[in-house]
A = this chain, B = another copy of it.
Amino acid sequence: MIDVRMLCLGALMGREASGYDIKKELERGSSAGLIDASFGSIYPALARLAEEGFIAARSEGGRGRGDKKLYTLTPDGEAFFLRTLSGPVPDEKYRSPFLFAMLFTSCLPRERVRAMIDRQIAAWEDKLAAVDETSAAMPPSAGLNFVRGFADVTLRAGLDHLRRHRAALEAAAKVSDTPAPVRPLTEAVPTEPAVAAE
């Protein structure tokens, strides 16, 4: 379970923060590019955690900024967080629209494939730069080092692979109005030769 509640509790480990702060942290802090959540899920999560007694709120209204609510973990909250973290680790989820699209290169126009690849390379390069940059600016800890390093090597491997294979992908793509060689997403070894019949 890594729902927004866990994200919030994690962000509050050893620090006081508002919903807004948490969102910023997810966007530009140590988890930049790895995890994200919208205000629409963060605020209700905080409200519920407060109700449950896992976090405590302190209003910082007054002077400058409007009504800011700073949350802190309660002992209960920290215990709950650590207990949940120690529980069963759910499977990872990776969903890549780009990879999915690449499965169908042979049915897509070549320029389109080219454009997608360009955008993906740019996106991964950006992410890589962001990871390396924020890593440098962060106090080192074994966990942080590991996670940032993971993002780094993994992105590099992906980029490298894509660069090496882009020619093949583009070559397989459809040139303008070539009758698309639609091959099914097969399940292992389709034993019937296409000629077959009877």
Spell out A's residues near B (CB within 8 Å): 1-2, 6, 10-11, 13-15, 24-25, 28-31, 34-35, 82, 85-86, 89-109, 112, 116, 119-120, 123, 134, 137-139, 141-147, 149-150, 153-154, 156-158, 160-162, 165, 168-169, 171-172, 182-190
Contacts and interface: CB of A to CB of B under 8 A. Distances in A.
What's the number of copies of this chain in the assembled complex? 2
Given A153-B158, A154-B157, A157-B157, A94 B34 contact: yes
A169 B143 contact: yes
A105 B98 CA distance: 33
Interface SS, A side: helix
List 7 tightest A-B contacts by C-beta distance, closest first: A142-B172, A15-B184, A29-B187, A157-B157, A14-B184, A137-B188, A14-B182
